[in-house]
Each structure stands twice: as C-alpha cells, then as structure tokens.
Amino acid sequence: MSKLNTEFFIAKRIAEVKGGNHHNIMVRIATLTVAISITVMIISMSVISGFKDEISGKLIGFGAHIQIVNLDGNRSLETSPISRNQILVDSLKLIKDLKNVDAYAIKGGIVKSKDAIQGVMLKGNELGYDSLFFKSNLVAGTLPRIGSEVRNKDVLISKVIAKNSGLSVGDKVEMLFVQPDKAPKRDLFKVCGIYETGFDELDAVVMITDIRNVQRLNGWDRNQITGYEITSNNFDNLEDLDSEVYQLIVDIPQPDGGVLMTETIVERYRPLFDWLKAHNINAIVMITVMTLVSLFNMISALLIILLERTSMIGILKSLGMSNKSLQKLFIIRSSFIVMKGLFFGNIVGFGLALLQQQTQLIKLDQSGYYLTAIPIKFDLWWIVSLNLGAFIIIVGLLTLPAMIISMMKPDKTIKFQ
C-alpha cells in the first residue's frame, strides 16, 4: 500500500470513528460554516451575474453593442446623416463574433394627446433588424410592419408612453416634429403594439417604426441613415470588436466623403456600467469574508482533531511515519469536512437561487433597480471557480496549523490520553 493510500485510509477511519464531544461539535460547526459560506457566495454571484446580464441586455436591446455614426453628429435627436456603404457592411459581417449590422434612423418628436404632450425619440429600423428584444418584451399588439412594399405608419410604443398619453393598441397618435427655422411638422401614426422592459428611463422615450418614416420626416433619401447598429455574440470581447470596426471605417472611405466614428454601449451609458462594475467589488469582499470565516473555523476544527489524536500521532511517529505523512493525513481528513460543507452548501445555494429564478419571490423597487424582481443567472466558469477556489484556499492554508505535528514528541504524546 502506497503512502498516499495509507494516509487516505487512516484519514477515512478517523472520519468514521466518533471522537469526543468537542471533536464532533467542532467538525459540525466547521462543516456548517463552509456550507453557509458557499451558499452565500453562490447566491451573491448568481444575483450579481443576473443584474449585469439583465441590465446590460436591456441597454443593448435599445442601442446594440456598437453604433457607427457621423463624426460631425452629436447625441441629440437631430443627427447628421451618413450614406449607406455596402462595402463597409459586407466587410463588417466578416468579423468574428459579429452577429448583426443594421441601419437605423432617429428623429426627435412630441407625442400629442388629449391629456398630455411628451417628448420622445422615434427610431426607424429596416427589414431584417434584430427584433427579438422588443418581441420578448411585447405586452400587447404586434411589432410594426417594416420593409413592406407599401410604407405603413405602424408605431410600437412603451407602456409608459401609453399610460402617460392614454393610448392603446389601434389608436391613432399625433406627433409633432420641430424643425429649425421652419414650422413644426405634424404626422399621424397608428399604435400597433405596446412593450415594457422595466427600464423606465428609456421606455419613456423610445418608439419604433419603419426607417422610411423617419427618413421622410428628416427630409432624407433612402440612402441616408443615422448610422449602423452592430450586435455581437461576445460582450466580453467588446473592446476588441470596437477596435476592428473602427479600423474598417478608417480603411473604407464613405461614398459622400464623410467621416465616421464608433461608440460602444459602455461608452454611451458609462454611469450605469460603472454602477454594475461596482457590484464586482461587493462580490470580491463577500467571497473574501466568507472564505476567511470558513478558514478560521476549519483551523479551529483541525486543532481540536489534532489535540484529540495526540496519542495516535505519537504511536504513528514511533512506527516510523514521517511528519510530512502525518500532515497529509490530517489535511486529507480536513478536506473531507470541506467537501461535505461544499456539497450541502451547493445544494442549498442553488436551491434558493433556482427558487428565486422560477418564482421571482423577492421583488425589487423598479424605480431604483430597473427590475421588478431579483434576477438570477448561472455561469459554469464561476460555479467551478468558486468551488475549486474555496477548496484549494481553505485546504491549502490548513497546512500551516498542521505543521504543529512536527513539534510533537512521540515519547510524550504517546502517553497522552
């Protein structure tokens, strides 16, 4: 039998044999502490991942990952147009991780109703745009008909706009469009559907229609647009994607001689993404505290086990077992406690997280968190990292208190009862 098998065999026998009261109590406390710690870590990480995924997903749904616009433009709703560039679009579609490239146009306007007037952004999309976001958040009616042979005047409005203006599906909505040095334009649209994302700041202003409606209101031809929206399959690679896109718009000139620029969703909504990033610090603090609490309790448990096994340590030393082998023996014994705690902690942690994910039991103030309930998301990488990291750190650092074995003398410890 190899040394490792010998150490494992003895550690397993120690675990099976019931020790003194102090031993049992400390083992249970240590197991419970590890279980509670990993439970808290799992819930914290799943909630933080859920927040980041839900909020960034909503922001991307409204504005894509990257926008290509006129360098002479600004963030107002009266933008300078750019000309369509099919060579650029075809080149962009060859980039790895790029999902869609969609042309869009925007126009600032005012919704006029019997009860109120409200400033909005009318956004025009073309046939083939990524409609999944608005489709998944549709609460009434249908999405606007886009790209048909005959231009129609369907418009998708939010529940916030519908409530403020007293509108419902099928109603006619009158809109005013202010023009510099000209009389305001009036236009009439038909509400085809109502959406709700819970992101009231954007819900209150964004309306969706056919891009041709916005082009006509801006006085543009079909070749003029506000810009392109680019969606990616890999949000984590956004900076690299932005660099590739920027290089292409530099290398491929515009037909009209215009100069383009790129803007990522992170740059556009910097305060919100900084707020989400701050949650990473909270997670690090939580994980560090929970790991330290588990470690201290495991050290206490190991010391109790060592003290209660002093006589056995003396006998094993007198039989020729080295200090290193004895240390391995008690580290293996401690690892059993850690694994047991991790096992029960994972069951409770994932159980509670799944309960929240399926029932949305715990609600949130939507005005403060942009969500109606605590979101949950699981990622394999942090699940594995969390469990493996906790196990390695706790068991690894237990080698220090286990070194007390080298200080024990067989001739004295063998008499200890």
pLDDT of the chain, 417 residues: tens digit per residue = 444 577 777 767 666 655 544 457 777 888 888 899 899 889 988 988 888 888 888 899 998 999 999 887 656 667 788 999 999 999 999 998 899 999 999 998 999 777 678 889 999 999 888 889 999 999 999 999 998 888 889 999 999 999 888 889 999 998 988 777 677 788 999 999 999 988 888 898 999 999 999 999 998 999 999 999 999 988 888 999 999 999 999 999 888 888 899 999 999 888 888 888 887 788 888 888 888 888 888 888 777 777 666 667 666 766 777 777 777 877 888 888 889 999 999 999 999 999 999 998 888 877 777 777 888 998 888 889 889 988 888 888 888 777 776 566 655 555 554
Q: What is the per-residue pLDDT for 273?
A: 86
Q: Which two tokens stand for residue 257?
A: 């001689």
User: Kind of pairing, strands 182-195 and 154-158?
Assistant: parallel
Domain extent listing, the chain: 3-58+272-413, 72-258
Half-sphere exposure of 23 (CA within 13 A, CB side): 15
Q: What is the per-residue pLDDT for 364?
A: 82
Q: What is the per-residue pLDDT for 309?
A: 65
Cβ density class 238-255: b for 16+ within 10 Å, e for less: beebbebbeebbeeeeee
Contacts of 377 (CB under 8 A, 6+ apart): 46, 49, 50, 52, 53, 54
Q: What is the per-residue pLDDT for 310?
A: 67
How far separated are the first and last CA of the chain, in Å rounded?
29
The CA distance from 133 to 203, in Å, is 13
For residue 406, give the 3-state DSSP assignment: helix
Q: What is the per-residue pLDDT for 208?
A: 95
Q: What is the per-residue pLDDT for 248?
A: 93
Q: Which two tokens stand for residue 320?
A: 């020729």
Q: Which two tokens stand for residue 341?
A: 């705690």
Q: What is the per-residue pLDDT for 1?
A: 45
Q: What is the per-residue pLDDT for 169?
A: 94
For residue 298, give the 3-state DSSP assignment: helix
Q: What is the per-residue pLDDT for 313?
A: 65
